[in-house]
């Protein structure tokens, strides 16, 4: 009985940590004709939320670039207070470009 109660209490906590797989996406075509994509997703309050966000962005990057992608840059929030909860609107941002001249899906 205790195991079932603990499992039921853990479900909302895990959902709050992972969040929804929502992301934001923009793109910019550079002077050399390459297109860079900017995708970002929310980070939750749990230690595993960064792993979840990374998987979410990698999945979206593979959907955009069918033949693979190159991670150009990553921006993540710097948390100065490691003891307190992270701010509500923290996000992980990736800048990517496709390896080949893919035709990205929107």
- Stronger pLDDT, 21 or 3, i.e. the higher one: 21
**What would the pLDDT profile of 11-70 be if each residue is shown by its tens digit?**
444 445 655 557 899 999 999 999 999 999 988 777 788 898 999 999 999 999 999 999
Give the span between the Cα atoms of 38 and 87, in whole angstroms. 22
Give pLDDT, residue 44: 77
d(CA 60, CA 15): 20
pLDDT given at position 67: 92
| Cα–Cα distance measured from residue 50 to residue 44, given in angstroms and rounded to the nearest whole number | 8
How far apart are the C-alpha atoms of 96 and 37, rounded to whole Å? 5
Q: At what angle do helices 49-64 and 2-18 cross, to 10 degrees?
A: 50
Q: What pTM was computed for the model? A: 0.69
């Amino acid at each position: 009985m205790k195991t079932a109660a603990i499992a039921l209490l853990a479900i909302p906590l895990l959902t709050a940590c992972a969040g929804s797989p929502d992301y934001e996406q923009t793109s910019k075509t550079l002077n050399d004709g390459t297109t860079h994509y900017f995708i970002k997703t929310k980070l939750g309050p749990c230690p595993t939320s960064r792993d979840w966000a990374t998987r979410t962005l990698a999945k979206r990057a593979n959907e955009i670039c069918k033949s693979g992608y190159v991670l150009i840059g990553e921006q993540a929030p710097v948390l100065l207070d490691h003891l307190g909860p992270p701010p509500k609107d923290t996000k992980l941002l990736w800048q990517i470009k496709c390896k080949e001249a893919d035709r990205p899906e929107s």
